[in-house]
Amino acid sequence: MTPGKHRRRSLRRFPHSDLAGLSHILCSNMSTPGQPERGERALIRRLAETLANLASAGVPFGDDMAQMSPGDNGLLGTTDMLMDGVDFDSRKHAWFDIGRKSMAVNLSDCAAMAVRPLSALGAVALNNRLSMDDALELHRGIRACGDEFDCPLVGGDTNSWDAPTAIAITVIACPEPGLRPVRRDGAKPGDLIYLTGPVGGSILGRHLRPVPRIKTALAVSRELSPRAMIDISDGVAVDLGHIIEASSCAAEIDEASLALAIHADAQTLADQDGTPARDHALHDGEDFELVIVLPPDADQAVCQRLGLLPLGRILSGSGLMRVTHEGRRTPIEPRGWEHFR
């Protein structure tokens, strides 16, 4: 069979204390030099080593989805677990919204690979204090989001316990006829980088109502021969970082383009916390817009019609930089939340 992914996504943390939470969510720094090997990325690296002996085909290990059945037309699958107190806060968020988000993050993975979702399974460990109505609202949210994207919830596993609620949704998807899944590792020097929408400040509310960019992704795949795509779960810098790492190249983000891709929420948040809006746009997670890499000759009219926002370009070398219109380059440090540290 095929190797696949162990998600590098490290979903944003929503600790129970609100303001402490905000700074942690938005600006935690994942690099801790000299620490013994620990953390999600180290674990994933170790897991990848043990899986490396599987025959390689289709989608490589570490991409947004895993290949579930062989062949270019094989099905892909993705799974995400959302946990109360980490990925959502049931004291503040409605169970319908929590359910919706649990499905949406998986559909966003389908968008990231430009494949069409088919159906979903859900496994839940419900905290014992949930009421029947809470459980039904959660289920209704999962189902509503799935139905909106033609991805019905077809089954699952219902459990309860004394610990916080955990929700694991799995989605399977199929490539569009004649089109291959868009991977992370196809970017080439000279390619152009786009976003499907403005980013930053999702914590003000958008993180709970992500809109999987499936429609745009399928259109991009049909019309623009994309080289690489990823959805923004950990922030533009980290997720674009995954593309350039997988593609063995570098990238630069135009400061002027970035300024036009800052979401109004990022500015609102900047006014509240003093962190530049640009930093929120680069580093805040859970936007679920897509980073799209297109060949240099991509049809600009199509890009405009699909609402793509230019962001920068792929370079040879390694690393991620900001560049001013005078050509002055500054490295961008990756920041993000990492599980299991």
Q: Which of 69, 225, 267, 268 touches a second copy by CB under 8 A?
A: 69
- The least distance separating a second copy from the CB of residue 189, rounded to whole angstroms, comes to 29
Scan residues 111-130 and list those touching a second copy (CB under 8 A).
Answer: 118-119, 121-126, 128, 130
CA-CA distance, 116 to 126, in Å (whole number)?
Answer: 29
Q: Which stretch binds a second copy (CB under 8 A): 3-11, 199-207, 241-249, 325-333?
A: 3-11
- The least distance separating a second copy from the CB of residue 140, rounded to whole angstroms, comes to 7
CA-CA distance, 339 to 41, in Å (whole number)?
Answer: 8
Nearer to a second copy, 82 or 228 (CB): 82
Containing 109, the helix (H) or strand (E) segment is helix 95-113
Quick one: how far is CA 253 from the chain centroid? 19
Q: Which stretch binds a second copy (CB under 8 A): 75-83, 213-221, 271-279, 308-316?
A: 75-83
Q: Does 60 bind a second copy (CB under 8 A)?
A: no
Q: Which stretch binds a second copy (CB under 8 A): 27-35, 81-89, 178-186, 267-275?
A: 81-89
Q: Does 45 bind a second copy (CB under 8 A)?
A: no
Q: Does 7 bind a second copy (CB under 8 A)?
A: yes
Q: Does 322 bind a second copy (CB under 8 A)?
A: no
Scan residues 166-225 and list those touching a second copy (CB under 8 A).
Answer: 166, 168, 170, 172, 174
Q: Does 20 bind a second copy (CB under 8 A)?
A: no
Q: Which two tokens stand for residue 66?
A: 């895993």
Cβ-count burial of 205 within 10 angstroms (0-12 exposed, 13-18 middle, 19+ buried)? exposed
Whose tokens are 């922030």? That residue is: 235
Are 266 and 199 spatial neighbours (Cβ–Cβ below 8 Å)? yes
Task: Give Cα separations from 322 to 31, 237, 308, 329 (angstroms).
Answer: 20, 10, 19, 6
CA-CA distance, 11 to 109, in Å (whole number)?
Answer: 13
